[in-house]
């Protein structure tokens, strides 16, 4: 692997995948899709679910569908400048009414994160 890295940096990841697949288990390199229904079944109302996503991934539509299938109200808010107060308001509303709140892009509102925690 060191020689591959020195000579062909673009081939390091495929080489690592080949090595792991050959000498270990293939399941270590496979990425299985998250089944939101299973996540929902394993949680409780008083514990938030935090999604750490790759760039370009948006679970909003899947969450909306699961909420609709489960007959639960769903509200979303994309965080950013000036959205902290709206987020507080919909979180309180969701806690009172029993609806799901999805806050997207929380990294854009770092000052709110300690309060959410």
Same domain for 26 and 37: no
Domain match, 56 and 14 both: no
What is the per-residue pLDDT across 10-19, written as a single tens digit (0 to 9) for each? 989 899 889 9
Kindly report the average pLDDT of the chain as a whole number.
87
| Domain total of the chain | 2
Please check whether residues 39 and 85 belong to one and the same domain: yes
pLDDT at 45 over 80: no
Give the residue-averaged pLDDT of 65-81: 91
Do residues 63 and 99 share a domain? Answer: yes
CA distance 94 to 102: 10
Same domain for 44 and 17: no
CA distance 60 to 102: 8
| 111 shares a domain with 70 | yes
Q: What is the pTM of this model?
A: 0.66
pLDDT score, position 87: 92
18 lies in the same domain as 53: no
Same domain, yes or no, for 17 and 41? no
Do 23 and 51 have their domain in common? no
pLDDT at position 89 is 93
> What distance in Å separates the CA atoms of residue 43 and residue 47, rounded to the nearest whole number?
7
> Does 27 share its domain with 39?
no
Domain that holds residue 3: 1-31
Whether residue 112 has pLDDT greater than 90: no
User: Is the separation of the CB atoms in 62 and 36 below 8 Å?
Assistant: yes
Q: Is the pLDDT of residue 80 over 80?
A: yes
* 62 and 84, same domain (yes or no): yes
Same domain, 40 and 91: yes
DSSP, residue by residue, 34-64: P-HHHHHHT--TTS-------TT---HHHHH
């Amino acid at each position: 692997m060191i020689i591959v890295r020195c000579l062909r940096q673009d081939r390091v990841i495929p080489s690592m995948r080949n090595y792991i697949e050959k000498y270990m288990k293939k399941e270590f390199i496979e990425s299985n899709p998250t089944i939101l229904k299973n996540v929902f079944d394993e949680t409780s109302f008083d514990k938030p679910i935090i999604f750490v996503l790759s760039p370009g991934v948006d679970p909003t539509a899947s969450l909306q569908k699961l909420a609709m299938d489960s007959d639960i109200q769903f509200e979303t808010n994309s965080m950013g400048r000036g959205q902290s107060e709206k987020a507080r308001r919909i979180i309180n509303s969701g806690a009172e009414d029993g609806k799901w709140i999805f806050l997207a892009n929380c990294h854009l509102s770092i000052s709110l994160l300690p309060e959410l925690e």
